[in-house]
A and B are shown apart, each in its own frame.
Chain A
Amino acid sequence: MFAAVAVALFVTFALALIRAISGPTVFDRVLSLNVIGTKTILLIAVLGFATDRYDFIDIALVYAVLNLIGTIAVLRYLVGDKERS
């Protein structure tokens, strides 16, 4: 089951990459990267279970936090919150 879910997640990556490459707007690309980021967390957790290395969960937790900060940073760069700064 772990292997099947891991394969499903890899197909998910491929589909999201298609969207990230074809665009058309920069927001579509950021959206795809965001999806890939979330799926990376899930993939790390699943692979940790598949290989009986449960300390992978800690890495998944760090990814979850970095993912949020990464997206916000990209969007700040793109638009710039004028009324906040």
Chain B
Amino acid sequence: MTLPDIFDLARLVVGDVLIGIGGLAALVGALGLVRLPDFYTRAHASGVTDTAGAIGILVGLAVLSPDILTAVKLLIVLIVALFASPASCHALARAAFRSGLRPSLHEDRPPPAVPGE
């Protein structure tokens, strides 16, 4: 077994493990979307699929990709996704809060209305 062979095998193993982790994280995030009690906690679950799922699968595919160009494209997709996901998540949470949807909090405390509380 020559050095390039070992390198290819390592690439295959690392890439497969990464996309496996990404797929599982996406699955758990969607499970949280169904299981968690209110909108704001579900938004955290969607954060798992958006970060761990996307990072795992896209980095794993980049490791597995046959040429540099495909890997670079995958990383561009990842960067766009990582910039877009918090923006849309924050816009969604803000829209929900502005429209009067209040989270149910631990020990039934009301959310603080003004800074400093």
- A residues in contact (CB < 8 Å) with B: 1-2, 4-5, 8-9, 11-13, 15-16, 18-19, 25, 27-28, 30-32, 34-35, 38-39, 41-42, 45-46, 49, 54, 57-58, 60-61, 64-65, 67-68, 71-72, 75, 78-79
Contacts and interface: CB of A to CB of B under 8 A. Distances in A.
Contacts, number: 135
B23 A9 contact: yes
Interface centre among B31, B43, B84 (most CB of A within 10 A): B84
Contact of B33 (A16, A42, A75, A78): A16
Contacts of A38: 49-50, 53-54, 81, 85
Interface of B: 16, 19-20, 22-24, 26-27, 29-31, 33-34, 39, 42-43, 46, 49-50, 53-54, 57-58, 61, 64-66, 70, 73-74, 76-77, 80-81, 84-85, 87-89, 91-92, 94-96, 98-99, 101
